[in-house]
């Protein structure tokens, strides 16, 4: 497995492409938007420069990494000769099903089709193809070049040899693979999102303030980032979407999203990506400032 394709040039897609390319794989980074691809390459270059400044890589590795990445706007061309496709498009079920139908049509019959979804059923995605045994979840964490975990999710029909191949590949990337089964939220988000939701509920009910909630979890539970800051980093819209998946999938009211989260997303306060969520974010500043709304 020397050549792969990554579908989607957003935050996760460019990070996944970066990691594969830095580890010697030829990568076709595919997106319908040429400007998005150029922006992704700029981001990868900046991240490589950070690694270079920290002496984590050499100039030769940076050059080789960038040389391993090919930008493609046509999906059929981008996947026709690869052994693995990693889909990292927007977390939208209709879009993912359409992408996997297209991947099934254009990728080599022996190619493994992986999705970076954080919550959508692998079994449902696999059912959109004629190769469900070769479909698997490969859930990287953000930022991909830094975070070690890859949550590997078996769909109901995923072949064991496919799982072992992806486990071995993740290890070659310097990651730590953890294999889980396909139920709503998998493991990472099944545990994380209720915690974030409970933190939001505690704020909503006036139990404590934003900074206090995050400080308790950072200093008391040794979390590197408090749940409200983490929610801002993930994107409050993404958190809400995953909670809906959990609530719909289990039918259990404990997964119902907090009304405050719903209101914030409806109003467009999405966290870092919008400039304000539980905290306010100013370009060029690393100071953590609680939103005036709280």
Set 139, 197, 202, 276: catalytic member: 139
Residue 286 has pLDDT above 90, yes or no: no
Give the CA distances from residue 185 to residues 4, 188, 214, 218, 239, in Å, rounded to whole numbers and listed in that order.
26, 7, 23, 24, 11
**In which band, very low, low, confident or very high, does the pLDDT at 204 lie, cut at 50, 70 and 90?**
very high
- Output the pLDDT for position 157: 97
Angstrom distance (rounded) from CA 42 to CA 240: 30
Is pLDDT of 92 > 80? yes
Contact 144, 44 (CB under 8 A): no
Extract the annotated binding site for NAD(+). Answer: 8-13, 31, 91, 96, 118, 142, 273
So what's the pLDDT on residue 271? 97
Is residue 189 part of the annotated active site? The answer reads: yes
Q: For residue 1, what pLDDT is reported?
A: 73
Q: What's the rounded Cα separation, in Å, for the pair 273 and 81?
A: 35
> What pLDDT is stored for residue 260 in this prediction?
98
Strand positions, DSSP E, 91-165: 112-115, 135-140, 149-154
Domains of the chain: 3-181 (3.40.50.720), 187-290 (1.10.1040.10)
Q: For residue 143, what pLDDT is reported?
A: 93
| Prediction pTM value | 0.91
Percent of the chain surpassing pLDDT 70: 100
Q: Is the CB of residue 279 less than 8 Å from the CB of residue 289?
A: yes
Report the side by side order of strands in the sheet with 69-72.
Answer: 69-72, 26-30, 3-7, 84-87, 112-115, 135-140, 149-154, 176-181
What is the average per-residue pLDDT within 219-244?
A: 96
More confident residue, 1 or 140: 140
Q: Which of 28, 151, 170, 241 is catalytic?
A: 151
Helix (H, G, I), strand (E, B) or coil at 288: coil
Strand ranges in 141-281 using DSSP code E only, listed in sequence order: 149-154, 176-181, 279-280
Q: Find the catalytic residue in 118, 119, 170, 241.
A: 118
What is the signed CA dihedral for 228, 174, 50, 11, rounded to 10 degrees? Answer: -50
Is 139 noted as a catalytic residue in this protein?
Answer: yes
DSSP strand pairing (279-280 vs 289-290):
antiparallel
DSSP string, 5-73: EEE--SHHHHHHHHHHHHTT-EEEEE-S-HHHHHHHHHHHHHHHHHHHHTTSS-HHHHHHHHHTEEEES
Q: How much is the mean pLDDT over the chain?
A: 96
Over range 177-181, report the average pLDDT. 97
> Which residue out of 14, 121, 154, 189 is catalytically annotated?
189
What is the rounded average pLDDT of the residues 172-191? 96
């Amino acid at each position: 497995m020397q050549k792969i394709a990554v579908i989607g040039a957003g935050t996760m897609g460019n990070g996944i492409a970066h990691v594969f390319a830095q580890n010697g794989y030829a990568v076709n980074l595919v997106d319908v938007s040429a400007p998005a691809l150029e922006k992704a390459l700029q981001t990868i270059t900046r991240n490589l420069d950070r690694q270079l400044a920290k002496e984590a890589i050499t100039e030769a590795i940076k050059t080789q990494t960038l040389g391993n990445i090919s930008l493609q706007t046509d999906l059929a061309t981008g996947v026709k000769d690869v052994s693995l496709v990693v889909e990292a498009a927007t977390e939208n079920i209709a879009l993912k099903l359409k992408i996997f139908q297209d991947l099934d049509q254009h990728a080599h019959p022996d190619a493994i089709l992986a999705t970076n979804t954080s919550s959508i059923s692998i079994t449902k995605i696999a059912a959109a193809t004629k190769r469900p045994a070769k479909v698997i979840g490969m859930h990287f964490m953000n930022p991909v070049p830094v975070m070690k975990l890859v949550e590997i999710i078996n769909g109901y029909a995923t072949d064991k040899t496919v799982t072992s191949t992806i486990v071995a590949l993740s290890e070659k990337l310097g990651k730590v693979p953890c294999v889980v089964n396909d139920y709503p939220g998998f493991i990472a988000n099944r545990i994380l999102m209720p915690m974030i939701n409970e933190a939001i509920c505690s704020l909503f009910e006036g139990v404590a303030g934003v900074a206090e909630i995050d400080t308790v979890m950072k200093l008391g539970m040794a979390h590197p980032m408090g749940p409200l800051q983490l929610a801002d980093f993930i994107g409050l819209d993404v958190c809400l979407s995953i909670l809906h998946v959990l609530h719909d999938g289990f039918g259990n009211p404990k997964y119902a999203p907090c009304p405050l989260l719903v209101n914030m997303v409806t109003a467009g306060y999405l966290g870092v990506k919008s400039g304000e969520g539980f905290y306010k974010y100013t370009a060029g500043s690393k100071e953590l400032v609680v939103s005036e709304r709280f």
